[in-house]
Amino acid sequence: MIRNPVVGALLLLSLSAAAPAARAEWPKEPSLNFAVADRSNEQVVPLIKNTADGGVYIAWMDRSTGSYVAYLQRLAPDGTEMWAHNGLLVSSHPQNSALFGWDMTVTVSDEAVLVFSDIRDGGDLDTFAYKIGPAGQFLWGPDGIQLSVNATDFDASPRVAMATDGDAVFVWNRSPNTGDGDIRMQRIAPDGTVRYPANGLPIVAVTGESPSFAQIVPAENGTVILSWLRNTKTLSTPRHLRARKFDATGTPVWPSFVTVYDAFTLPVGYYPEFQTDGANGCFLSWYRSDGVWLSSFAQHLDAAGAEIFPHQGVALSTNDSHHHVSPTMSVDTATGESIYFWDDRSSGQNFRGIYGQKLSAAGVRQWSDIGIEYMPLDTVPNALPHGVPYAGGAMFFLTDQPDAPSVDRLIGYRVDGNGALVWGAGPLVVSSATPGTKGRYPVVIGPDGVVKIVWEDTRNGAADLYVQNVNPGGTLGPAAMPGAVGASLMVAKSAVTEGDLTLSWGASCSVGASDYAIYEGVIGDFASHVWRDCSDDGGDFVEELTPSPGSRYYLIVPLGEGSEGSYGQSSLGVERPRAPVPCKPVQQLGPCQ
């Protein structure tokens, strides 16, 4: 019998030993949560984006000085604040008393890129971009880079995406006092070089119309896909949904825009959902009114702009006696399947609940024609769901008021690929702190399946910002580490099939291990292992396999919800590297080894 190399103790990875905050881990109780911004007056309109190490950037507008100013904070994977509490002041330039949309993305070097409009040059809104390094450096100068320069135009609601060539690509709506508006685009190189002329390129401009609500996602070779609403000049102009791909010079790639939806007009002030498909195309979802009913739809455009679903999109529900409002979208980029959750309402909109639907890669409804009910229609107020994909299914989060008016709780659900609830029949309570309301709760999910949510919370009076993690197993607080199996692996000849091997091992030292993977390598090559089986079939710590030719070694690696544990160490205490194609996307190394 052959034993595997002894697995030694390893430490949980963290960003910095010199973090300024005293807290050491995510709170486990929904009544606690982390206050990421709690100055006097309100902190509002939060943004949150993942960093490569499993942490996040959080940005917000702060009104503690009487005027809105922009702040930024970086959190380590365990929730530790990397900068001083209440964040880094990004811009204190004068801001409009009414806030409009802004955006943030993160570079491959974990730099935060922010874009917003303010009135530093006068009463009109102009657009500015900032890049902040992981240590809080202002990489594009203390005042950022000005994207629009004009005296009277209203340049609002900018958006940003990182192109595959490393450029940051920005779009915004230009609305002059008189005449037609347009959508502008600008690109900035990693070193801060502005690619296009001042005020950007007018990439969507039609006589007699004012397009708006621009959004972008990256595609191949530095291209981006733009979505927008055709005309928002008046309340009665046609707000049809369109899309088009542009190359790095701002030249259209698709010969014409794609009319995604023009059967009816979209609601006033509404941003459709818009995401990359991971294959240089995009997914879109939206709702509209036909004059009587509000209904939700989805469409998938491939890399060439062809509609994969039927023209005008696929209806997410055919229930003609309910309204279907504001779908959130979770895309599985590996399979092309997509999952949606929406606010379902009775005909009079006095009863509300939550429904979900899954579409196949071809756009066929999978969870019946009307979807699955997750929260029944009743008089308990609920807000709109925010969803993220996970393990062939999805998670979604929202607020409701089951106990008293204007007293919110933040809750979540996880469903598998068949629509079945994973965390039990009732919701997971993410925040139960009272009194007060909770609003604007953007959600991100890391490669380990851990969700981070930030939201506005009035538990202390004026809105503060709180943040919480949610583990894929339906818990709050520190994620359980997969651990290691130590030196317990035994390899023997199979008593069942001649020539096969029987591998048996003991349980991981961590209760966080829910399964086990088998890796096989060539003896003499410390890092040659590849996966043979990503699951312990039967959960009995025993597997049979046919060995590959030659002298082989085997590793048993514990698996958690979205991560794997230690591969073992050499006799010198060097951690064995991970396989080039691991069974889980990230590795978490816990202290129990």
pLDDT in tens, 460-495: 999 999 999 999 999 999 877 677 777 778 888 888
% of the chain exceeding 70 in pLDDT: 94
| Residue pLDDT, tens place only, 378-409 | 999 999 999 999 999 999 999 999 999 999 99
> What is the tens place of the pLDDT at every residue in 305-315?
999 999 999 99
Q: Is pLDDT above 70 for 3?
A: no
- Whether the CB-CB separation of 147 and 115 falls below 8 Å is answered with yes
Cα separation, 357 vs 370, in Å, equals: 8
Task: Give the chain's length.
Answer: 593
Look at the block and give the residue holding tokens 């002041």.
89
Has residue 340 got a pLDDT over 60?
yes
Res 550: pLDDT? 86
Please check whether residue 552 is in contact with residue 471, taking contact to mean a CB–CB distance below 8 angstroms.
no
Question: Is pLDDT larger for residue 18 or for residue 165?
Answer: 165
**13: number of Cβ within 10 Å:** 14
Q: For 345-373, what is the HEC assignment? A: ECCCCCCEEEEEEEECCCCCECCCCCCEE
What percent of the chain stands above pLDDT 90?
A: 79
Range in 153-167, 189-203, 210-224, 534-548 the model is least confident about:
534-548
pLDDT value for 571: 52
Name every residue whose Cβ is closer than 8 Å to that of residue 311 and which is 6 or more positions away in sequence. none
Instruction: For residue 56, name the pLDDT band (cuts at 50, 70, 90).
Output: very high
Structural domains in the chain? 2-10+480-587 (2.60.40.10), 100-271 (2.115.10.20)
Mean pLDDT of 101-115: 97
Residue 22 confidence class, pLDDT cut points 50, 70, 90? very low
SS (H, E, C) 91-113: ECCCCCCCCCCCEEEECCCCCEE
| Mean pLDDT, rounded, for 181-197 | 97
User: Does residue 334 sit in helix, strand or coil?
Assistant: coil
Looking at residue 13, what is its pLDDT?
Answer: 27
Would you state the structure tokens that stand for residue 350, as one six-digit string? 């006095």
pLDDT at 11 over 90: no
Which residue, 491, 493, 482, 488, is CA-closest to 517? 482
Pairing, β 56-62 against β 438-439 = unpaired
Residues contacting residue 122 through CB under 8 Å, at least 6 positions apart: 151
Looking at every residue in the chain, the average pLDDT score rounds to 91
Q: Is 370 left (phi over 0), alpha (psi -120 to 50) or beta?
A: alpha
Q: How far apart are CA 103 and CA 47, in angstroms?
A: 7
pLDDT at residue 14 greater than cutoff 60 = no
Tens-digit pLDDT profile for residues 271-297: 999 999 999 999 999 999 999 999 999
Residue 508, pLDDT score: 87
Exposure pattern of 42-56 as b/e (b: 16+ CB <10 Å)? bbbbbbbbbbeebbb
The per-residue pLDDT for 575 is 80
| Cβ atoms < 10 Å from Cβ of 101 | 18
Scored b (16 or more CB within 10 A) or e, 526-542 reads eeebebbbbebeeeebe
**pLDDT at position 591:** 60
Distance CA(356)–CA(377), nearest Å, equals: 13
Q: 67: which 2 tokens?
A: 């005027």
**Predicted local confidence at residue 446, as pLDDT:** 93
In sequence order, what are the beta bridge partners of 331?
A: 338
Contact between 379 and 350 under an 8 Å Cβ cutoff? The reply is yes
Determine which of 220-234, 422-436, 539-553 has the lowest per-residue pLDDT on average. Answer: 539-553
Rounded mean pLDDT, 86-101? 92
Least confident range from 3-17, 55-69, 516-530: namely 3-17
Q: Residue 358 — φ and ψ, nearest 5°?
A: -115, 135
Q: Tell me 254's DSSP state.
A: S
Q: Please answer whether residues 220 and 303 qualify as being in contact, where contact means their C-beta atoms are separated by less than 8 angstroms.
A: yes
Res. 21 pLDDT band, cuts 50 70 90: very low
SS3 306: coil
| Contact (CB, 8 A) for 530 and 519 | yes
513-539: pLDDT as tens digits: 889 999 999 887 778 999 999 999 888
Q: How far is CA 544 from the centre of its chain?
A: 39
pLDDT band at 170 (very low <50, low <70, confident <90, very high): very high
Contact yes or no for 157/228 (Cβ under 8 A): no
Tokens describing residue 287: 């709702």
Question: What pLDDT sits at residue 17?
Answer: 30
Q: Which amino acid makes up residue 97?
A: S
Strands 586-587 and 563-564: parallel
Would you say 69 and 60 are in contact if contact means Cβ atoms under 8 Å apart? no
Give mean pLDDT, residues 95-121.
Answer: 94
Q: Which of these, 189, 151, 148, lies nearest to 171 by C-alpha position?
A: 148
Nearest 5°: the CA angle 553, 557, 563 is: 145
pLDDT reported for residue 123: 79
DSSP secondary structure string, 500-547?
A: -EEEE-PPPSSTT--EEEEEEEETT-TT--EEEESS-GGGSSEEEEPP
Q: Are strands 323-331 and 393-400 parallel, antiparallel or unpaired?
A: unpaired
Instruction: Give the confidence band of 69 by pLDDT, cuts at 50, 70, 90.
Output: very high
- Please state, in angstroms and as integers, the Cα–Cα distance from residue 60 to each residue in 36, 159, 176, 433, 464, following that order: 10, 15, 27, 21, 10
**Partners of 165 in beta bridges:** none
Query: Which residues neighbour 115 within 8 Å (Cβ) at sequence distance 6 or greater?
Result: 102, 103, 104, 127, 128, 129, 130, 147, 158, 159, 160, 170, 172
pLDDT of 7 reads 31
C-beta atoms surrounding 152 within 10 Å: 10
Q: Does the structure show a pLDDT above 50 at 241?
A: yes
DSSP SS3 for 54: coil
Distance CA 415, CA 367 (A): 12
Q: What is the pLDDT of residue 360?
A: 98
Q: Is 363 exposed, middle or buried (0-12, 13-18, 19+ CB in 10 A)?
A: middle
The whole-number pLDDT of residue 481 equals: 67
